[in-house]
Structure 1
Amino acid sequence: MTNPSPDPLDAPTAALAAAVLEIARHVEGEPLAAPRWFALANGAQLLTQQPGLAALLGEESAAVMAGDELQLISIELDETADADSADPLRALAHVEWPVMAAGGVLACDLAPEQWSVREDDGPSAATPGAVSDHGAGSTGPLRIVVGALEDGTTWSALQRDGDQQYTLGAALLPDLTAALLESLQPAS
């Protein structure tokens, strides 16, 4: 399902990578005409803030979650104010992250005219908004799942139409990743 990433996986990055891949599996097989947004909450902190959650999870699951300081729980957000926009950067301007969000994830399909791949760098050079060259033989959408934490940790999973595997890495879509990170910062 995945190609190995050359990016290092320290513990926080591994936790984010696991959340990104979980969301990628969750939306797999569904066309994503508009971006879908997922808040990421720290599981241990969520249990502390919402003690009733432990009863819903059961004693064993709650103990595991409480003992893992890095576990991230994904929570899909309701549609954004600009839910009809297929442009993730435009839709991102309308996302309101809940207070408990330690991070966020975007999942969407980019149409071929919305992305390009520099042939010298391969899929890791995919950039939304570049129209000139969308890769040899690429006629379908590019599935992207991009995650970021407030502390600057990022992870992405990209899948070309028809591919069975995801390409993984920390900054595969730098402009989108930077915008997602900025949206997670507290308003000043």
Structure 2
Amino acid sequence: AKPAPKALHKPEDAYNLVMPLIDDPNREHFVVIVLDVRNRPRGIARVGTGAVDHCLVDPREVFAPAIRLSGTAVLLVHNHPSGDPTPSIEDIELTQRLAHAGDLISMPILDHLIIGTGPHVNEARKFVSLAEVGHMRAGRIQTEGDTKDDATLAKKSLNQHRRHEAGGHTKTRKKTTRIISSKSR
């Protein structure tokens, strides 16, 4: 039997999982990590590859892998080839729109990581977690200090999912496909 993948407990775990998929650090890539109820990866899908300063992202493509793999939540990851992982206004707006779309299909987005890649990466600041800097409405990766063991993590994740199912988020937002742009970074 194949061992179960390790649960993602902190944003750095997601960073380490996705970095090998960014094979061209000079172009933007948008990746979705599909998670199970215990925050273990069920699959990883690159849903967009763009140019040096933007990447087209279609919400259908973002959630299709999660639905296909029977995931219970997703993590979003994309890179900035400029090396600066600071989120742009477009990054934040896209994340909010995708979070709303996820709410409609009971697929919460736990976090959105932005990774600095390219020749000007600051090793001290390799990525930014939108959950950690306060740009996520609901959910985030559990940190090591939040849980004592996987059973507690699973219970917290299940309770969060139940609260979500009970109608936690009902605001309506315009549905559009957004372009992530690093021009305003």
TM range (shorter): 0.3 to 0.5
Provide TM-score, normalisation by structure 1: 0.39
Provide TM-score, normalisation by structure 2: 0.39
